[in-house]
Structure 1
Amino acid sequence: MTSKQPPLPKRPARTAQPRFTWHHFTMRFSSTPRGARLARRLAGERLDAWGIPYGSEAHDALLLTVAELSSNAVRHGHVHGRDFRLRLVAEGTAIRIEVTDTRGECLPTPAGPASPDQEGGRGLLMVAALADRWGWYPCVDEPGKTVWAVLEVSRCPERQDSSQ
């Protein structure tokens, strides 16, 4: 039995107007599922503090990207005893997400069309659909690689009251 795949989320709208002053957040997390969850949670709090409110399309797209890149670092970039690093940078109208792990030989490539029976392999396709740009580069000063994605963020309207 085959199942129909849900459509990918819409890309947040763009604006030419600068939104952010320069913001920066960097933290290391244990290379475990718990570390990936914590990275996602702290990224969500940081984005909200930077003016991208919880529940907005931009917040959801950014968190989905953080979750996918962090999950990939744990699943494919794990080296026992080594952490992964999450870095968020906001400048102008863009948010740059970088996740660095310690396995440089396991390179990120978006999978082609997946069969309905396949459990994984769609994450980087989702990142590519959400991000305006994404890629990776090898670490220079230590073993590993950094996978990055840049999302242009429009001005997010305040969350509307559902009672209206």
Structure 2
Amino acid sequence: MPDAGNEWRQRFSSTRRGARLARHLAVLELCRWGYPLGGGESERVGQVVAELAANAVAHGCVPGRDFELGLRELDEVLRVEVSDARAGERPRVRPGSPDRPAEHGHGLRIVEALCVAWGVSGRVVGKTVWAEVARRPATAARP
């Protein structure tokens, strides 16, 4: 398992293309840190980035302002942070019922399922939605 301590930040245009690029570059950065393409952490972080970046573009977009993606490698988790310029309503998983499912909020359900924790933090301008994906210990090689 790679050592903790890596950090990476990048700004992207608040467009669907920017969100897609954010996912691709995040996975490539994880590969540089020692997490193989197609590996468990890489796949989970890629999906979380895709969902949070799509939400930033769809719900947090302010004309002329980008969104920012940050990745941090901590002792037990990989932390994903997506910041946008809209400070309004905070994202939340919307309740649904079997007879009347929620129309929105499915992306955050995916994030919730893939992460050990997620939440929202305020900033001077806008907000940051963060999520922490568990780092899996390397499996011991069998003799």
Indicate the percent of aligned positions where both proteins have the same amino acid: 41
Equivalent-residue separation in structure 2 for 1:156 and 1:74 (angstroms) = 35
- Which 5+ residue runs of structure 1 have no aligned equivalent? 1-17, 158-164
Q: How does 1:90-101 map to 2 (within 5 A)?
A: 90-101=73-84
SS at match of 1:60: helix
Cα distance, 1:55 vs. partner? Answer: 1.1
Q: Give 1:67's match in structure 2, choosing from 34, 50, 58.
A: 50
- Checking the alignment, whether the CA contact within 8 Å between 1:97 and 1:149 is kept in structure 2 is yes
Cα distance, 1:128 vs. partner? Answer: 0.8
Deviations 1:128-159 (A, max 9, x none): 111101000111x3x200000011111356xx
Q: Per the alignment, do residues 116 and 57 of structure 1 end up closer, same or farther by CA in structure 2, a change over 3 Å counting? A: farther
Equivalent-residue separation in structure 1 for 2:107 and 2:115 (angstroms) = 12
Higher normalized helix content (fraction of residues) = 2
TM (norm. structure 2) is 0.88
- Which 5+ residue runs of structure 2 have no aligned equivalent? none
TM (norm. structure 1) is 0.77
Cα distance, 1:118 vs. partner? Answer: 6.2
- Checking the alignment, whether the CA contact within 8 Å between 1:132 and 1:152 is kept in structure 2 is yes
- Checking the alignment, whether the CA contact within 8 Å between 1:84 and 1:101 is kept in structure 2 is yes
Q: Identify the residue that residue 76 of structure 1 maps to in structure 2.
A: 59
- Checking the alignment, whether the CA contact within 8 Å between 1:76 and 1:106 is kept in structure 2 is no
Larger Rg: 1
Opposite residue 81 of structure 1, the aligned amino acid is G
Q: Identify the residue that residue 137 of structure 1 maps to in structure 2.
A: 121
SS at match of 1:75: helix
